[in-house]
Chain A
Amino acid sequence: MKRSPAARLAWTVVALVFWLLPVVARAAPAEDEGKLVHVADTRHLTGFNLFVANLYNTDRLLFTLLAVGLTAALGLALGLLMDGVVAAIGLNLERHETRE
């Protein structure tokens, strides 16, 4: 049964909405949440650590976006790097036969 690209797109959007609705609902803090505030001690920090700690203390949303973005970027970059290393060793990284 072949689906048209529009149907595929609609199907994906529906799936993502299903996924995102509870995500948004959960991301909104409840009334009692956030009372236990943690503040990073920046007195002895320098460089990148100081930047991260300052961002954490001043703008939590930006800190979160940086954390998620940096994690994704580093994961992708390291994945590509390791692909190169494994390919240089000479292993076949294409689709392979499966055996149960």
Chain B
Amino acid sequence: MLDFFTVTLPISGVPVNVLLLVLLGVAVGVLGGFFGMGGAWMVTPALNIFGFPMPFAVGTDLCHMAGKSIISTRRHAKFGNVDARLGLTMLAFDVVGIEIGARLVMFLERRGLAGPVIRWVYVVFLFLIGALVFYDYFKKRALDRRGGVVADGQSAVRWHLTLHRINLPPIVHFRVAQVRCSMWLPAAVGLAVGVLAGFLGIGGGLLMMPALVYLIGCPTYVAVGTDLFTVMLSGFYGAFTYGLKGRLELLAVLFMLLGAAPGAQIGTIATKYIRGYGIRLMFGVTVVCAMISVVLKQLQMGTLASWFVMTGVSAMTLIVVIGMVRGAARELRTRYEPVI
């Protein structure tokens, strides 16, 4: 019966079940809207499992990421979670960093070292980000138990306060993020994230979100919204360049967008009902999933790594959907409660 939904894609010639594409779109839409990332690390292996050649998987993913991010960014902007000035500042230096990272890769490739070095650097950074997120979470819990207070929009880990002391002009005020700092701080952080993203060959959302929280000092919600804004712009650039190189399957993008539209709404609205630290904790778990999948790939267990990613993505999607449904039900109950 499911054969009815199988179509042969016009450009790559790959036969694929469109229901799977729509479901993948839903999952990535939910997690992307919730965490503020493109989700290349989830989509690329999934499309590869569905039979897409790797370059087509990357190009198709980037194009779908741009469309999906429009939906999430619009919603986050209405919630007041997007600091466009901060996003543009970081993005301007992020692309320069991506170029530097890409050149580093070429340098390693000429020496035959690119593959293993990149994967292990990726693992180390994912481990560090995961460890930082969990450290912050448990430090906050310990503070709560001792009666300490972490103000809204602040973290238990406060590296950003030290970085805000850098007084190199111009000093700028990012109104939405409620951050006042030297313009060179987001510029340097954007550049560093770009170098890493270019070096590791990823979109950068996975790195940008924690960088915005811990180095710039954004509230979690603004970090998610601003990150999505940058992901949207870089996604369009990626779609353009891969389209020119002929590695983009338009029909697959459109099917995935059909799923990503409700998914992105669910993920974005879920941020309304789940506390910032809840988002950070789930982000930490996601980062660990990504790390384990890379380790499995490095150990030549590519298929297992892909299935691991798919299982982790499904579980996280389910948790976010449940959180959103419960929160929405609570809101509707409160609003329509009869007044006696």
A98 at the interface (CB under 8 A from B): yes
A82 close to B240 (CB less than 8 A): no
B211 at the interface (CB under 8 A from A): no
Would you call the interface of chain B mostly helix, strand, loop, or mixed? Answer: helix
Report the interface size class on chain A: 35 or more
Interchain CA distance A67-B249 in the complex, whole Å? 9
B316 at the interface (CB under 8 A from A): no
| Seed contacts A79-B261, A81-B261; 11 additional CB < 8 Å A-B pairs | A16-B88, A56-B246, A71-B257, A72-B67, A78-B258, A89-B332, A90-B332, A93-B79, A93-B269, A96-B80, A100-B153
Nearest chain-B residue to A93 (Cβ)? B78
User: In the complex, which of the residues A56, A66, A98, A100 has the most CB atoms of chain B within 10 Å of its own CB atom?
Assistant: A100
Instruction: Report A-chain residues with C-beta under 8 Å of the C-beta of B258.
Output: 78
B contacts with A, residue count (CB < 8 A)? 72
A78 close to B150 (CB less than 8 A): no
- Render A14-42 as a binary contact track against B, CB cut-off 8 A, 1 for contact: 11101100110111010001100110111
B92 close to A15 (CB less than 8 A): yes
User: In the complex, which of the residues A29, A76, A79 has the most CB atoms of chain B within 10 Å of its own CB atom?
Assistant: A79
Shortest CB–CB separation between residue A30 and chain B, in angstroms?
11
Whether A27 touches B70, Cβ cut-off 8 Å, given contacts A67-B253, A74-B254, A86-B265, is: no
Whether A70 touches B275, Cβ cut-off 8 Å, given contacts A27-B241, A53-B10, A89-B328, is: no
Would you call the interface of chain A mostly helix, strand, loop, or mixed? Answer: helix
11 A-B pairs with C-beta separation under 8 A: A1-B173, A22-B96, A26-B99, A29-B245, A37-B246, A52-B11, A61-B244, A71-B67, A93-B75, A93-B269, A98-B221
Chain-A contact segment, one of B35-43, B159-167, B199-207, B231-239: B231-239
A60 close to B246 (CB less than 8 A): yes
From A25, A37, A50, A98, B219 is in contact (CB under 8 Å) with A98
Whether A95 touches B10, Cβ cut-off 8 Å, given contacts A64-B240, A71-B67, is: no
**A residues 35-65 with Cβ under 8 Å of B?**
37-38, 40-42, 44-45, 49-50, 52-53, 56, 60-61, 63-64
Interchain CA distance A60-B68 in the complex, whole Å? 23
Whether A78 touches B71, Cβ cut-off 8 Å, given contacts A15-B88, A19-B233, A49-B251, is: yes
Shortest CB–CB separation between residue B24 and chain A, in angstroms?
16
A71 close to B262 (CB less than 8 A): no
Interchain CA distance A70-B245 in the complex, whole Å? 18
Interchain CA distance A23-B235 in the complex, whole Å? 12
Shortest CB–CB separation between residue B241 and chain A, in angstroms?
5
Interchain CA distance A78-B71 in the complex, whole Å? 8
Shortest CB–CB separation between residue A73 and chain B, in angstroms?
9
A40 close to B243 (CB less than 8 A): no
User: In the complex, which of the residues B13, B66, B220, B245 has the most CB atoms of chain A within 10 Å of its own CB atom?
Assistant: B245
B95 close to A19 (CB less than 8 A): yes
B88 close to A64 (CB less than 8 A): no
Whether A79 touches B75, Cβ cut-off 8 Å, given contacts A64-B243, A64-B244, A71-B253, is: yes
B288 at the interface (CB under 8 A from A): no
B152 at the interface (CB under 8 A from A): yes
B275 close to A99 (CB less than 8 A): yes
Interchain CA distance A64-B151 in the complex, whole Å? 47
From B12, B172, B250, B328, A91 is in contact (CB under 8 Å) with B328
Shortest CB–CB separation between residue A83 and chain B, in angstroms?
8
Instruction: Report A-chain residues with C-beta under 8 Å of the C-beta of B109.
Output: none
Nearest chain-A residue to B335 (Cβ)? A90
B98 at the interface (CB under 8 A from A): yes
B91 at the interface (CB under 8 A from A): yes
